[in-house]
Amino acid sequence: MEKLNKQMDDALNTKVAALNATDDETGDGKVDALDLKHQLDRVEAQLELQDQQNRALLRSQKRLLWAAIAIVVVLCLIMGGLLLRFNTAYNQVITTCAQVNEIAGTLQDSLAKLDTEQLDSMMQTLPDIADKLSQIDVDALNDVMAKLPATMDAVAQLQQQLNSVASFLGNVGSIFG
């Protein structure tokens, strides 16, 4: 047993000596405060380097996060714009379908009210109407149709001015009357 204890003590002393040998920074054969200061300086340098690396990594991740947020915002804006366009187009299609259905209903009602003699008469005049329509200058008709809204706006403005003048004259008449 004593032999085993001696072997264990020798192994422990060898291990402590090996550790002390690697801890001897100055090479003077003993571990003292100067060796500990060198080790501390080395650890601080390693920590400072690790801190710089961590800060650079955090800056990089922060930039990537902001870029991802910007991309998501841009994509949301694009999707919102597309949704608005699709909604507008859908509403226009629904409105157009309702107008077509209304016209078809009106046409069906009109045809139902016609007697067969009137319908035959209309069908006989249809080729003459088609010939007359083929003689119409389409460009001139398109030009007139393009100018029609502006003309209607001008007529509406004139109506407003006439109403304003009539109102003014009515007020003047009530003052002197």
Domain ranges of the chain: 11-135
> Does residue 27 come out as left (phi exceeding 0), alpha (psi in the -120 to 50 range) or beta?
left
pLDDT at position 87 over 90: yes
Q: What confidence tier does 76 reach under pLDDT thresholds 50, 70, 90?
A: very high
Tell me, yes or no, if the pTM score tops 0.85: no
Confidence of residue 12 (pLDDT cuts 50, 70, 90): low
Residue 71 backbone phi and psi in degrees, to 5: -65, -40
Tokens of 43: 């650890």
State the pLDDT at residue 31. 60
Query: Which token pair is 24?
Result: 């001897």
CA distance 100 to 96: 6
Taking residues 146-163, report their average pLDDT: 88
Say yes or no to pLDDT of 29 above 70: no
Which segments of the chain are extended strands (E)? none
SS3 category, 43 = helix
